[in-house]
Amino acid sequence: MRTIGLIGGMSWESSAIYYRLLNEQVRHRLGGLHSAQCLLYSVDFADIEQRQRTGDWDGAGQILATAGQSLQRAGAEALLLCTNTMHKVADQISSATTIPLLHIVDATAQAIQRAGLNRVLLLATRFTMEQAFYRERMQRLFGVELLIPDAAEREDIHRIIYQELCLGVVRPESKQRYLEIIQRHGEAGGQGVILGCTEITMLIQPGDTRLPQFDSTALHAQAAVDWMLQPMPQATPSAG
């Protein structure tokens, strides 16, 4: 099994979900007492969130790049950035390390393609919904168009993530608000919905919507396990 390095803590609520999913999937595939061979670097989310609010993406990226370097030195053979929003600085992390970073957009988009869909609603933080990094990668590399909620919907989605889910708070009225948004966009032509913030899986469960759901957290974890369980590359014998 290959070793994956997790850059987590954004928030730790969703990082705990990642850790559980990785271990559950490894045990399911290998059986017995098998578990995920992984390393975790968990940052202080308060620092990252403050930099998000003030637009200091370079500073936030440097923190995460340093985390990636630490994981590589500790023996990680690939990186898993356990957040959608901070994939805005994925290139900064990749530039600071020499091991692969498994991108959350790629894992999510590939599942959408397998389902035969190309026009889906994105629920995420305001940064992910409003900035181009997520939407453009999805469209450019995979031909998937993202539907973005309107301003009032974006405000509610973002507030619920940061003021509730990141603090471990799950409220029925917040779930109902998300379901109303999903239903409206489904009626307007959305073919599915991306749970595009790693905490949303705490609120919206399979079967809650008639639209197909693409849980970015679960799909990202599945891609990581696929990578971890690939056969180890064989060393080429030296000529002798």
From the candidates 197, 198, 201, 217, give the one annotated as an active-site residue: 197
DSSP label at residue 166: G
With tokens 């619920």, the residue in question is: 160
With tokens 């620092």, the residue in question is: 47
> How many other CB atoms sit within 10 Å of the CB of residue 19?
18
Which amino acid, residue 86?
Answer: M
DSSP label at residue 101: B
Select from 203, 228, 222, 6 the least CA-distant residue to 108: 222
> What are the tokens at 114?
């397998």
The residue ranges of DSSP E strands in 116-196, in sequence order, are 119-123, 145-147, 193-195
Identify the helix (H) or strand (E) that includes residue 26.
helix 12-30
From the candidates 38, 82, 83, 198, give the one annotated as an active-site residue: 83
* Cβ atoms of residues 137 and 94 within 8 Å: no
38 catalytic? Reply is: no
3 catalytic? Reply is: no
Residues with catalytic function: 83, 197
